[in-house]
Structure 1
């Protein structure tokens, strides 16, 4: 477990005080793949570097099986062996082979040569690079270099792995393979992973919990599904929109302006098992309305589907209300898209009651 208790970090830049972290409260549970996301300058890199004391907090405590800052230098060195770190730009020694790069932390731990050889080959097999042991970094692709970085971080059998923008220098396909590898690291070695990123797609693919940072603060935190489904801040909503489109398309705006009295437009939001319901076809069969699907976006998070449909309902007002009341009664959230493009969430109890009695 990693716990940040009222952590602040102030840098002195030419006589000016810069607050990189401000009163951070955050807990990463054992076994988590915990993502920290934020725009450049949000403080996320500083945050992750306080875990292994590459940066010392100005105030507050970072607890990693105890407060590292209170240990002696020798105790800190020993404790850091339990914390692996992967860097954005790999940080490999070009003059050393893949084997030697991975072996480096083991050499510093003064293990016997036989033990080092066995451990390095074991880890290289795990990351799929055993045949590259004698190669040099310049002979590897970006994805292979990052696999070497992962292997090096795993060499000392850490219980915590820190990932500092580990995929931002990679293409999308390579990113996907590296994230798959990190998922295996978490599941097979039972390693807690704390990763920072500015890519919500990374959070979506691998993390179970996430914190959103802005201007040195944690502004939102929770499990990934809840953050995606119900973002509370504008910053989080902007990140979610980079993965899940929920804005009303321009074609819908045009249709709204041309709308007649017998047509209304709604956004139907699906979460979890609701996404598998044939709700549109059911509603069309049960009520005297025509349903025109204008836009749809369904995706998956941790194997759970969610997304939205924008639909036009055509019919008299009474039938439209009954149709929407039915959809809402299926525990599906509905928003009406108004002429100015704004979205009005429909209150379930009030609307269903009015529809059934109206």
Structure 2
């Protein structure tokens, strides 16, 4: 559907060359809700603007449904852009026009008949829940309503691709959730491929099925949202994941742990899928002569699959500790020892089902 093939973009600024994009190779499949995440300056907004050639790549190709956009004539490009809708961070509405007129604008520019425009505008306003706001002006709307108008306008021409450039970053959390639910509805009911640019991992978690992580103009990691959350391989990605799935213990908790005559060791246990439902801690405590102190626990759901982690202190003599650890390692989880300052070392993989959150 969308292919970035060796895409680079260089800007000239005060006799300096700024490499906004460096050899990007990413494929967005038809029907994907594909997220691109990165900190400010990572190049993600430049990337999304190459899809409809608001920014022309310095080198490489952007291919839409098998067509290289840069190779099209002006007329062909205009036609192709009708299949690409775009939603902006700050709505980009015309304040002097009503909601109806804002949504109708792409249809008017496409020289559609008046009746066809009216039918389509009211159809799409019903879909986004704003039919009763058709005669209102943007300054009479809330931020969430304005973004719904922006979405309606982007959908007016029945595009096959929807681009979202930080579409929720100007909204409060509750409104963000409603907009994300609307995007999911658009993807499911209209079968529109969606490309989302964001710096919020919560957005990726809630709505996307695949994601690419950008840093300094490069894609440093990409894959399914589930795999990226479960097995992040770069520090940048791990930091983004931790903003949604916490896996650390406050330093004050470590300071409260008491030493006694028995060995005390701290471990992080990561669960994936079915293993998340196991009563692992109680089984271990019943089976072996160890005390288990749960320091931290967390579980989240991604695309219907649970991901969880526990940080526990195991207390007992060396022999019982090793027996208990071996039992835990055999339960389709991953076990990693944690030092007193909270850093991880000594990963123990147990099966293909296990997963790593590297520290």
Q: Which residue of 2 aligns with 1:47?
A: 47
> Hey, what's the Cα distance between the residues in 2 that align with 1:264 and 1:16?
53
2:37 aligned with 1:31: no
Q: Give runs of ≥4 in structure 1 deviating > 3 Å.
A: 255-261
After superposition, residues 71-86 of structure 1 pair within 5 angstroms as 71-86=72-87
The structural deviation recorded for 1:16 is 1.5
* 1:138 to partner: Cα distance: 0.3
Separation in structure 2 between the aligned mates of residue 222 and residue 323 of structure 1, nearest angstrom:
35
- 1:176, 1:227 → 2: CA distance? 22
Instruction: Please show how residues 67-216 of structure 1 align to structure 2 within 5 Å.
Output: 67-216=68-217
Cα deviation, 1:160-200, whole Å, max 9, x if unaligned, reads 00000000000000000000000000010000000100011
TM-score, normalised to structure 1, is 0.95
**Number of residue pairs the alignment of both structures matches:** 350
Match of 1:278 in 2: 279
Q: CA deviation at 1:262?
A: 2.6
Q: CA deviation at 1:341?
A: 3.0
CA distance in 1, matches of 2:116, 2:341: 69
Distance in 2 (alpha carbons) for counterparts of 1:259 and 1:251: 19
The alpha-carbon distance between structure 1 residues 244 and 95, as it changes in their structure 2 partners (threshold 3 A), is same
Q: TM-score, normalised by structure 2?
A: 0.94
Separation in 1, partners of 2:189, 2:156: 15
Q: Greater shift after overlay, 80-89 or 331-340?
A: 331-340
Spell out, residue by residue over 1:241-260, the C-alpha distance to the aligned partner (whole angstroms, 9 max, x if none): 11111123213431467465
TM-align CA RMSD: 1.5
* CA distances 1:125-157 after superposition (whole Å, capped 9, x unpaired): 110100111100000000000000000000111
- Who is 2:288 aligned against? 287
**Corresponding residue for 1:334?**
335
8 Å Cα contact 1:329/1:348 also seen in 2: no
Say if 1:34 and 1:209, in contact at 8 Å, map to a contact too. Answer: yes
CA contact (8 A) 1:257 1:339 kept: no
> What is the alpha-carbon distance in structure 1 between the residues aligned to residue 260 and residue 88 of structure 2?
54
Mean CA deviation greater in 258-267 or 76-85: 258-267
